Amino acid sequence: MQHTHPEPASLPWLEPGDEFPPLTQAWGKTDPAPGLLAGGGALDVDTLVRAYSAGVFPWFSAGQPILWWSPDPRMVLKVEDFTVHRSLRRTLKRFAADPRCEVRIDTAFARVIKACAQSPRPAQSGTWIVPDMVAAYRQLHDAGWAHSVETWVSGELVGGLYCVAIGRAVFGESMFSSVPDASKIALAGLVAFCRHHGITMVDCQQNTGHLATLGAREIPRSVFLAHVQSASSLTSPSWRFYPEFWAESLHHSAGPK
């Protein structure tokens, strides 16, 4: 999805600390940028936590103001729908059995988000993970709201993802991989973690074909918001990964469709 330069007069403009507009005011399917809700505001920890709690996320390119989005429908990955195709299942089994390979959580957040920002994206000329976003999410991580799930092989970081978590509401942000399947392994690790802790859904924000092949699908925004309100009120689990998470996840993950 290409970023659109909105007409300022038609977009609510926020000052730092302002409340977000009702989500029903987000631009619809016939507007230039479906899901666009507001511009302006700030990227401080409090604003970001309020945004995610309300089903809103920031997304903008270099040279643009802060833009806030809440698309309808919303792309999500239900943990029970995570699809592990045969080749990935073989990869995960080898990975889980190899003592040189491990998934870690929150041991290299700064490296993960930097790598995500530098990863080339198909059909995109740049990245939305601009320096202000990197700084904001590092602060969010330091405050305990953002996490990295990392794929390590022989002591080298080869892939990973970062996400936001409020209670048991988890919002996926971006992935990177420097070797084949490393980002998928990190996602499988996140799913295994979620399954163990009773987290039922991971927000994927936007519809992409890649996520659809892994079991993600669109749901109405109203359904997504009801989930966020319920899950965010629950106690957050301890964000650590243990190897025993793999067995249950591989056993229950859906096969190829």
Torsion, Cα 23 49 110 107, to 10 degrees, reads -120
pLDDT of residue 122: 55
Residues of the chain with pLDDT under 50: 1-5, 8-9, 125, 257
pLDDT at 142: 98
Class of domain 75-252: alpha beta
Q: How far apart are the first and last CA of the chain?
A: 26
> What gap in Å lies between CA 141 and CA 164, rounded to an integer?
8
Side by side, the strands of the sheet bearing 217-219 are 101-105, 146-153, 156-166, 169-177, 201-205, 74-78, 217-219
pLDDT tens per residue across span 111-153: 999 999 998 765 554 578 999 999 999 999 999 999 999 999 9
Where are the alpha helices (H) located in 143-231, listed in sequence order? 182-196, 209-213, 221-231
219 alpha carbon, distance to own chain's centre = 16
Residue that the structure tokens 């022989």 belong to:
154
The pLDDT value recorded for residue 254 is 56
Is domain 8-71 annotated with CATH 3.30.70.3550? Answer: yes
According to the model, what pLDDT value does residue 251 have? 67
Q: What's residue 119's pLDDT? A: 84
Q: What is the pLDDT of residues 39-58, one digit of tens each?
A: 999 999 999 999 999 999 99
The pLDDT assigned to 121 comes to: 60
Q: What pLDDT score does 257 carry? A: 42
Enumerate the domain spans of the chain. 8-71, 75-252
Q: Find tokens 């592990």 and name the residue.
A: 84
Number of Cβ within a 10 Å radius of residue 176: 24
CA atoms in the 13 A half-sphere facing the CB of 42:
9
pLDDT at 167: 98
Q: Put residue 203 in one of left, alpha, beta given phi > 0 → left and psi -120 to 50 → alpha.
A: beta
